[in-house]
Amino acid sequence: MKVKGFSHVTIRVSDLNRSLQFYQDCLEMKVVHKGRRDAYLEWGTAWICLVESDILKRTENQAGVDHVAFYIEEENFEDAVNKLIARKVTVARMPVKRGQGMTFNFLDPDGTQLELHTGTLKSRMEVWV
């Protein structure tokens, strides 16, 4: 199997319009398609799909996706964090150095944890021994 790389993430949301407002306004993602119960957004080379559905009540330590991380270059990191904080996103973890990169974790309107990260897999593995 010759997989070329990561394709996308699909995130279940309880209210498509509310989530679209968050992903467009707070994260400045570009809407490529909006359907009745789904939307596709682009952010650099990353893209996500939001799907409106009935969400089961989340419980602590629930199996599934822990968080979705997006790569951002170091020189853009501080500005992005400041913009998100100014827009009053729910912060899950303030900026901290992890591996050789900076990371900032925050929540979308349904509590999905998102992350901005400046490191690469290569830089992570250099210190993850």
Catalytic residues, which ones?
Answer: 115
DSSP states along 46-97: EEEEEEE-PPPPP-TT-SS---EEEE--HHHHHHHHHHHHHTTPEEEEEEEE
Residues 9, 49 contacting (CB under 8 angstroms): yes
Gap between the Cα atoms of 78 and 98, Å rounded: 15
Gap between the Cα atoms of 107 and 60, Å rounded: 15
